[in-house]
Each structure stands twice: as structure tokens, then as C-alpha cells.
Amino acid sequence: MGNETLQEFAALDLDYLIIGGGTAGLAVAARLTEHPWFHVGVIEAGPSVLNTGDNGAINVPGRYGETIGSKYDWKFETTPQPGLGGRSLPWPRGRILGGTSALNLMAWNRGHRKDYDAWAELGNKGWGWEDLLPFFRRSESFHPPSAAHQKYYQSSYDPEVNGTKGPLHTTHAKQYGPTHQYWHETLNSLGVPSTQDSLAGDNTGVWNMVCTIDPDSQERSYSASAYYHPIAKRQNLHILTEATAMEILFNFEDDEWYATGARVRWNGLEANIKAYEEVIVCAGSVQSPQLLELSGIGNQDVLEAAGIETKFHNPHVGENLQEHIMTATIFEIPSTIPTRDDILKDPIQREAADRAYYASQTGPWTVMPCSVAYCPLSNILSPEECDELHTQAKEVARNTGRTHDALLASQFESGQARGQVEYLFDLGNWSPYFVSEPGKKYATMLQMLQYPFSRGSIHIPPMSETNYEKATIDEKPMIDPRYFLGPGEIDKKVMAKALRWGDRICQTVPLAKLIHGRVFPPPADGVKTEDEVYEEFVSNYTVTDWHPVGTCAMGEADGVNAGVVNDMLQVHGVHALRVVDASIMPLQVGAHIQATVYAIAEKAADMIIDDNFARNGPL
């Protein structure tokens, strides 16, 4: 149900209050309310665009990216990054019912099985690949490609690992760009094999990206449309949109803190919303640690500087920030090849694309960037380069003594087959830094580092030095990824080598037949070597890949000494409070993360229900 006022919402008898109606939050809400005796409320800061006319930029697949920087984006920015020449990067996050699943590029893949087994190695029981696979499958209804599609586009799948009854629609894109027909053959000739299904626990190799798209309507499938919309009339589910959770409320009983609800602001009014069982924070990797700190859970030094009373000191809140990083190299291609840039620049072509899409769900707006390869370091680096970086990585692990870093260092061992760098080739100019020349056309090679050593933090800001008022939810958190600093220097070296390999892909036939040459960065001019060009480019033009994790991480083996939540996702040091989103991931995975976030939400819902039954008995 929806359309309640704040006063009506505050009067509800809620068992569970979910803060954040995004990717994870709506999935948890949908599963909990399958049990009619659980009454669930969801607080979402953004609006809903379901059943409104203002949703084309969200629903139409080929219009991906239009909502970034819009009113549906929190418009976060990092602090100036010394490792990036002092640049601050935009960090898009969804401020809308559905969260970032309404803004992302709809990529649907899972990490390597070893990614999740590493979580279990850290002591997080029940979080290995085999444990998570049922929850991956539960979230999706996969629509397999037709025989003709498989033959023409080299699309393939493994029916044993795909879900068929979940809320989210997933499928191969209806159409691919004209260069995709050369992708598999080019990578195969470089020794990178094609992979049958990236969802099967081994995504190393060449494959076609699956997308969260309904193949019948050719619309984006996201948490609001898939998990919430079909059940919106459930009497035990209540959604309050355009409402901001200001802090989590607690009672102090018998020397223990118990979460009891949240202070919420809506339409200029404030009220306390109560939850009789649990408060579940699903605010994402940026705002979940922010909300914990504003509520008195975090590093005491950070809290005191912000004017917040400490309820429980945990120095790990907001730390362990990990993010995929990306560079975009640009190549000139023949002017006769159609690209997405044509539609974005030419009103006549855009109008034609709109007509084709709305009349028959065909045309350019159904074309998606799907030419993908996850390459191990053995492809990208020479054996000598691997050995050198392995030595440096082992030294980092010895210095920190952290199992996390030892697991990261193992990627440089000979025989490791995980795809440490993702390559995605697409037509058009994707770079925010390169200005297209009139009359010329371009293609983009994206290089995305999957397992970064760079570790950063997200914290609330300190009090103002002028008015000494404590930090509030209205002040954006300080996002400091510390790109390429400290152990992150290893990332910079890998990224520079990744550019070299990306060039080699584009110089290999048959793909090379369509490429005139690299224009960004320009080729070495004799003053600098190509390696120097790559290194400078990485510093000056690396951007975020929009996959932050780890700021409320699980740390079960060492409990509160290593993490923010336990393997039941319960926040250490308090009761009746959980975090369920990408922030709980202790280590980054080699994948676009939305499928993993949905699996986390599905698993969390089961744990919450089981806990309730254990306390209260089946109802």
C-alpha cells in the first residue's frame, strides 16, 4: 500500500521498518510480506515513477545513463583524490523508489565462485558460492535467447544455474551493435575462450552480458517494477516515499541498546516511526554507514568530531570501502557505422528511434552494450610482471596482517583464472573527457579493475567550526576512496597494463578491420613511450564504475574486531538492527554487483523470517 501521510505512517503497528526502498530494501520487503502477519514499512527518500509519464529515461533500455545527474540521483562526489591528480569524481546513487537499480546500466552477472567462497573463508558462515546460488536463482526469471539469437550473436546459457520463477526479468539484449559479431572471434584468437554462461560461477572469458530487461515489454526490470509493483496492494506493506530517515532510534535497557525505529522527515514534518521487531537499514554503501554514525554507532573519534553521542564504538563503520575503477579509451571508426551518439545528437533520428520503440519494441533503443570479456592477469601481464606485482601484494598482506589482503594477493599467483579486468567494447564515445570531432565516429573500450587494493572510507563530516552544530542527514558524507594510494599503487600498475591489453584487442582482426586507430589517449609521440602514456592516462582519466561495497562489512571470524555486522547481518553492539545491502560485502566481487545485492536481500529475508519464528514460533 502507499499514499499514506507521515502521521498515518507513524500510527501503523509495524513489525519491521526498512530504511531505503532501493535494490535490496524492496526485495526484503516483498519477501517479508509474503507472510501476512508481518507488517512492514519502507522509508524511501526519493519519489516513485511507477505508473507515471516521467519514466522513459528509466524504463527504455537504450536510454541508459540519462538519469545520472538528474533529480533521481543523490549526486554524491568524492573528496579530491591525490591519486587522481586532485580530481573529485561524481558518485551516482539512486534517489528513487527502486534505488540504483533504476539508474544502472542493467548489467546482470555474478562473480566467480571463488569471490563468494572468499567471504566464507573470512569466517562468514553460509556465504559461499553454493550457499548463495539458490538466492541468486530465486531473484530472477531468466528468459533464454532463441536458437536464432544464439546462432547470430553467439549467446548461450546454462539452464541449471538460471532462475525461472523470480520477480526480476533477465534476458539477453534483443539487439547488439554491428561490431559485436567480431567480438568473440577477436578475443578467441588472443587466447581468451568463450564462456557458456557468466552466471554459472566462472565468468572468466568472453561472453554476452545478460540484462535486467523484460523481453516482452522491452522495459527495464528493477526492484520497484519487479518486486514492489506486483504486490503494491498488500495490506501488510506500507511505503512512504520522499521521506528521509534522520537517525535510528534506540532504547537503553539492561545496559544494552535496542533499535526501536527511526526519526523521519516528510513534507517538512517530523515523526518517530516505531518497529516492534527490527529496523533494517538498506541505504547502500554510502548512506548505511552515514546513518549508523548519525545514530551513534561508529568510530568514537569520528562521532565526537561530528557532535554525535557514541552509543557503540566500532572503528570499522564506514571503513573498508572498495570500488571498481574504470578507464575509457576511444577509437575512431568508419563514419558509415551507426552509433548511439547519432541518436543522442540528431533529433530526427531520436524521433525515429522513439517511434520504433513505442510502436513495436524494436529499433536502437533495444540495443545494449553487451560485448564483454573478463580477462585474468595471465592475459594482461607477462610472467615477470605478475611475479613483481605478486611480491608487492604479499608485502602488503604481511604489513597489514589482514586475511583480506592475503586473499587479494593470491590473484597474482600462477594458475589463477579469475577475470581481474573486465573489458567492454561498445560503439559511441563513452568518455566524459574526450570531445568528439564533428563528422567523425568513435567506439569505446572500457577497462574495469575487479579486485582493487585501494581502500577508502565514508564518514559523516565534522561539526562546522563556525556554529558547532552536529552533523545531520542533510550534509553529504565524505567519500574518500583513496584511489591508487598506499596498497592501491598496485591498482595503478595493473590498470596501466590493462590499457595495453585493450589496445591489443583493438589491433587484432577481425575487430581491427573496423578501427582506424586510437585517439584518446593519443598514441605516443616519441617524447613519451606508450607505457608512459598509459600511466599518465590512468592518473588523469580513471573514473568510478559505480560499484562501491564494504563500508558495513561482515567480519564474522573476528566479530566486532573486524566488521560491522555478523554473518546474520546483525549490527555488532546493539540489538534489533541489521544492514542489508552492498555495504556488507567484505571483499569486492568480479562482477557488476546488482545480482549479488539481490541475492544478499533474498538470503537476508530468509534469515529475518527464521529469526522471528525462532523467537515467537510459527504464526
The label of the residue with cell 572498495 reads: 322
What is the structure's pLDDT at 53? 77
| Candidates 112, 324, 390, 592; catalytic one | 592
Identify the pLDDT of residue 76. 98
pTM value surpassing 0.95: yes
**Per-residue confidence (pLDDT) for residue 284, from 0 to 100:** 99
270 belongs to a structural domain = yes
Instruction: Report yes or no on 133 lying in a domain.
Output: no
Asked whether 604 and 569 are in contact (CB, 8 A), the reply is yes
The residue-averaged pLDDT of 203-214 equals: 98
pLDDT range class, residue 342, cuts 50, 70, 90: very high
Going by the DSSP 8-state scheme, the letter that residue 466 receives in this structure is T
417 or 583, which is more confident: 583
Report CA-CA distances (Å) from 64 to 21, 451, 507. 21, 25, 28
8 A C-beta contact, residue 443 and residue 520: no
Report the share of the chain in percent with pLDDT over 90: 91
Q: Is residue 407 part of a domain?
A: no
- Please say if the pLDDT value at position 459 is more than 70: yes
495 located within any domain: no
Task: Detail the residues annotated as belonging to a binding site for FAD.
Answer: 100, 546-547
Greater pLDDT, 598 or 556: 598
C-alpha–C-alpha distance, residues 444 and 452, integer Å: 22
Give the residue-averaged pLDDT of 173-196. Answer: 95
pLDDT at 526: 80
What is the reported pLDDT for 1? 56
Residue found by looking up cell 591489453 in the block: 501
pLDDT tens for 347-382 read 999 999 999 999 999 999 999 999 999 999 999 999
Grid coordinates representing 448 are: 574495469
**Per-residue pLDDT at 2 exceeds 80:** no
Half-sphere exposure of 266 (CA within 13 A, CB side): 24
Q: What is the DSSP letter of 603?
A: H
Active site residue 592: yes
What CATH number is associated with residue 610?
A: 3.50.50.60
Q: Report the domain count for the chain.
A: 1
Residue 186 has pLDDT above 80, yes or no: yes
Asked if 212 contacts 221 with a C-beta cutoff of 8 angstroms, the reply is: yes
pLDDT at 466 over 80: no
pLDDT at 556: 73
Q: Is position 200 within any domain?
A: no
Least confident of 270-279, 443-452, 555-564: 555-564
Q: What is the pLDDT of residue 355?
A: 98
Residue 333 near residue 515, CB atoms below 8 Å: yes
| Block residue for cell numbers 552492498 | 582
For the chain, helix, strand, coil in percent to 5 are: 35, 20, 45
Span 250-254, average pLDDT: 96
289 within some domain: yes
Among 324, 547, 572, 575, the active-site one is 547
Q: Is residue 505 part of a domain?
A: no
Q: Which structural domain range is residue 271 located in?
A: 6-53+241-321+550-616
Does any domain span residue 269?
yes
Residue 547 confidence (pLDDT) above 90 = yes
Beta strands in 420-493 (DSSP E): 421-427, 441-449, 457-459, 478-480
Return all residues near 300 (Cβ < 8 A) that are at least 6 apart. 310, 313
User: Which residue bears the cell 527502486?
Assistant: 98
